[in-house]
Amino acid sequence: MKFIVSSTYLLKQLQSISGVLNTSNTLPILDNFLFSLNNKLLTISASDLETTMTVTLNVDKAESKGSVAIPAKILLETLKTFADIPLSFNINETNFGIEISAGEGNYKISGQNGDEFPKIPVMEKAATIEVSSSMLSRAINKTLFAAGTDELRPVMSGIFCELSTDNITFVATDAHKLVRYTRTDSKSAKAASFVLPKKPLNQLKGVLSTEDVPVRIEYNQTNAFFSYGNVNLICRLIDGKYPNYQAVIPTENPNKLTIERYSFLNALKRVSIFANQSTHQIRIKISGRELTLSAEDLDFSNEAKERLNCQFVGEDMEIGFNSKFLLEMITNLDTDEISIEMSAPNRAGILFPINNSNKQEEILMLIMPVMLNT
């Protein structure tokens, strides 16, 4: 089994799938990339059993076909040292020894039988939907930060995808914050829902183009399969019922704050430095057209206060939030102005972008308040 391929081209393809690899695996074979050659088409796979990512590339002067598992760490480290030169791979199909020739250099690696690599699950009774890569990339970017990390509640550690005949909705929550991202320019032939894990979504985010390239998504009860350009990703869905997120979004919010996003974000960054480093609590006091941000850390006698102009409709109020969560949310909005709607100091606040340039996009962010020490 022989082939020739450009070193930088190969490295780029390997790096696009290497994030799937775990640092410690129960199966030693998973420390390898699977190289499968068929004519001049080379398919490379990486897997952690839950997620498998493959990339297909054209190679030169390919001889015979077959498969071999090549240790990922040594291969990646070696490729990083080369300038853009052709590499000649020669694989012994008896003992799976790999010989790489590069210019005047010759390198030997011990491989393993490719047949021992876990097989990619077959998608049975799968439904299909096609979306644009730019939409999927934006949906992941806008929601993934809000997903939970609690291992006892695995269903909340992923993104809930809700497909309907009118739109597609992506939801992430960790019980302290929630993001609902809806696109009305994408829809499904039939209603369906599933929970995608965080790791494969991070992998997808890394390879998806911001251009409008179609992404084919197949899904059934257990797996989701993404096909994009020369990259395929299949992942096991998170099993379990997603919480009723609609029930926690308050509908009656008479107190409406409108503020310039960038100045609010920068003030929040400054004031939050002075907050207690375990609670990250900041206090927001709104009176008329003036908003006062304040924080204090009694343990170190640190405190900060900053005033901002705003537009506000409703009763004067004072409310506390976790500044870390609030900063994450405002950073992930990209309009010039944002709106925060509230009902009471002990009820969730709702953030919206104002004058979003994309009319087919709806973003709602929810943040739970923290109790203020009077």
List domains and CATH numbers for the chain: 2-116 (3.10.150.10), 127-243 (3.10.150.10), 249-367 (3.10.150.10)
pLDDT for 150 equals 86
pLDDT for 302-334, tens place per residue? 999 999 999 999 999 999 999 999 999 999 999
Q: Is the pLDDT of residue 210 over 80?
A: no
pLDDT at 209: 72
- Please give the pLDDT value at position 206: 87
Q: What's the longest Cα–Cα distance across the chain?
A: 80
Beta pairing, strands 112-113 & 231-236: unpaired
- pLDDT for position 374: 58
pLDDT score of 222: 93
Report yes or no: 158 and 171 within 8 Å, Cβ to Cβ.
Answer: no
pLDDT on residue 68: 95
pLDDT band, very low/low/confident/very high, at 372 (cuts 50, 70, 90): confident
Q: Which residues of 235-261 are buried (b: 16+ CB within 10 A; e: fewer)?
A: bbbbeeebbebeeeeeeebebebebeb
What are the phi and psi torsion angles at 65 (to 5°)? -130, 160
Q: What is the pLDDT of residues 104-153, one digit of tens each?
A: 899 999 999 999 999 988 888 889 999 999 999 999 999 999 999 888 89
18-57 pLDDT, tens digit each: 999 988 888 899 999 999 999 889 999 999 999 999 999 9
Question: How much is the pLDDT for 305?
Answer: 96
pTM over 0.85: yes
